A and B are shown apart, each in its own frame.
Chain A
Amino acid sequence: MSNSDNYESVVTSASQDIAKFDDHRKGALGHFQHMLHMTPSLVPLIVLVASIIIFGIAIGSNFFSAYALTLILQQVQIVGVLAAAQSLVVLTAGIDLSVGAIAVFTSVLMGQFTFRYGIPAPISILLGVSIGTAIGAISGWLVSRVKLPPFIVTLGMWQIVLAANYLYSANETIRAQDIATNAPSLQFLGNTFKLGGATMTLGVVMMVVIVAALAYYLRATAWGRHVYAVGDDPEAAKLAGVNVHRTLMSVYMLVGLICGLAGWAMIGRYGSISPSATTGMMGNIQSITAVVIGGISLFGGRGSILGAFFGALIVGVFELGLRMAGADAQWTYLLIGILIIGAVSVDQWIRKVAM
């Protein structure tokens, strides 16, 4: 049909400039908002530095001591590892309520395998971590294939794992002294070394290595891009050529594996193995707190694992700072509550940059 009005022919005579993106966000606030959008871990980093400065001023030089640093890192090492695992699930727009329970259960398994069945400790550790991974695989399969909501799946898994933990161990604690004499490799991550006056444990090193490795893989590999894409919009990711099922399975299994490592780190941290360790009940909430304060969006697809790490450190700084200042422990919870709500508000505000 050539008889239609050839109204588009004028286009060729129009300006040939290609479409440009005007940066219409004006002013310092707009630039700041944009910067936060591009670097989501910036907010928790600012909060972390600010809180260290404020506590430093309030408490004095004691707070900057190697001793304080040691305490904070010791305190944070388990939650930090769980938060790294939690970040992965949250980035896929999921949530994992079972992280703490898996950590406690795997620590119990490592101990019982060694002491009840006489399995060499390194193999028990391997078995514990493998079972953690397998639990993650079951959750992942239920989420990805059966399409159950992650909240429900892991709420159930939390109860199941915790109950299995008590039933299997008959609620029996393995004493630190027995472990130290018979199976020291279970406590391996509790080994310490000096770093500029502060006492570090291998557990702290493991936490840093896990966070750094995940940060790299999330940012610089195809797998990492797929994790974000699946969290952003799973349907779009599928159409664009992402294997959504494989991505989700890899995430939940990796989370189980990391929780297994956290279980091992718990033995190093506490010396003994106790099925009733508070991590089983509190690990999930603590890790979600770190993740949220760290600026990872619960809607998925946005945020960085470094942010969650900073989030865990912020909680550690608050706990120790307020304790050293002699404040009631309830102040910690009050302030952390404010931080959580503040972090989500900032997340909402940052998202507006896109609109």
Chain B
Amino acid sequence: MEPILKGRNLVKRYGKVTAIDHSDFDLMKGEILAVIGDNGAGKSSIIKALCGAITPDEGEVWLEGKRVRFASPIDAREAGIETVYQTLAMSPALSITDNMFMGREIRMPGLMGKYLRKLDRPKMEKFARDKLSELGLMTIQNINQPVESLSGGQRQGVAVARAAAFGSKVIILDEPTAALGVKESRKVLELIQDVRSRGVSIILISHNMPHVFEVADRIHVHRLGRKLCVINPKDHSMSDAVAYMTGAKLPEAA
């Protein structure tokens, strides 16, 4: 089967550091693929190379069997790939609504929108409010609150809601539950499964092994800038996974 999103022989160097070292990557259609690896293994770098946030020095990215060259995250977004970055990519001084619609604002219908380019705030606010209540993270009256006044967990919730609302083919989540409490994490996991049931394929980077083993169909183990192996959570234990990603144990050759 052809992967929906595929990376081949990807390389990215920052001076002397090689963040991606001739790595491959495969995401199958409709699956939840977890990516695990030590800090600095290059997990964030490889997903950024897949979603246009960085341009790889070498290698190829394929979406649905077609070669793609994303010059920016905007290109990837237009192709249906949404990303929750580890840094969240929010503008702190702007409101939740502004942030959710950044770069894809909705204009008023009619002349005001056409000639004066006026934003349709009521429509954007309603949409943002609906998406956030689906996640159970927000009360309604706070939709115009600047993002900087939210807690870390709430910010992460907004970022996840943004990706879930707009991702049509692939959603990439880089440690989306790192700042979340138990209850909020649970909501995000439910949302991930929910989105997958819509047919969207998901990449989940996480350090939380119970979460990974609960939701992932396959687990991509990343080590020293490249794919070490892909394991099936049904055939391996959490301690196997941790042993692979830390180098304590080598995976049997496939």
Contact = CB atoms under 8 A, between A and B. Distances in A.
B118 interface: yes
Interface stretch (B23-31, B33-41, B139-147, B221-229): B139-147
B16 interface: no
Contacts of B119: 220-222, 225
11 contacts: A4-B210, A18-B133, A217-B117, A220-B119, A236-B87, A238-B73, A240-B89, A240-B103, A241-B102, A242-B102, A354-B148
A225 B94 contact: yes
Contacts, number: 120
B104 A241 contact: yes
A353 B149 contact: yes
Interface stretch (B2-10, B178-186, B199-207): B178-186
B137 A4 contact: no
Given A232-B92, A238-B72, A301-B93, A14 B183 contact: yes
Interface string A15-47: 010111100000000000000010000000000
B214 A240 contact: no
A20 B154 CA distance: 10
B88 A19 contact: no
Contact of A221 (B74, B99, B117, B149): B117
B98 interface: yes
Residues of B in contact with A, size category: 35 or more
B137 A19 contact: yes
Contact of A223 (B99, B117, B148): B117
Interface of B: 53, 72-74, 77, 83, 85, 87-94, 98-99, 102-105, 107, 116-119, 133, 136-139, 142, 145-146, 148-150, 153-154, 182-186, 210, 213-214, 233, 237-238
Interface residues of A, number: 37
A217 B112 CA distance: 12
Nearest to A40: B93
B53 A239 contact: yes
A19 B183 CA distance: 10
A242 B102 CA distance: 7
A232 to B, nearest CB: 4
Contacts of A243: 72, 74, 103
A228 B105 contact: no
A229 interface: yes
Contacts of B89: 235-237, 239-240
A45 to B, nearest CB: 20
Given A19-B154, A237-B91, A239-B89, 6 more contacts: A11-B182, A217-B117, A229-B98, A237-B89, A241-B73, A301-B93
A21 B183 contact: no
B146 A4 contact: no
Contact of B93 (A8, A221, A232): A232
Contacts of B74: 241, 243
Nearest to B90: A236
B203 to A, nearest CB: 16
A246 to B, nearest CB: 11
Contact of B90 (A21, A228, A240): A240
Contacts of B116: 216, 220-221
A80 B114 CA distance: 29
A16 B137 CA distance: 11
A37 B95 CA distance: 12
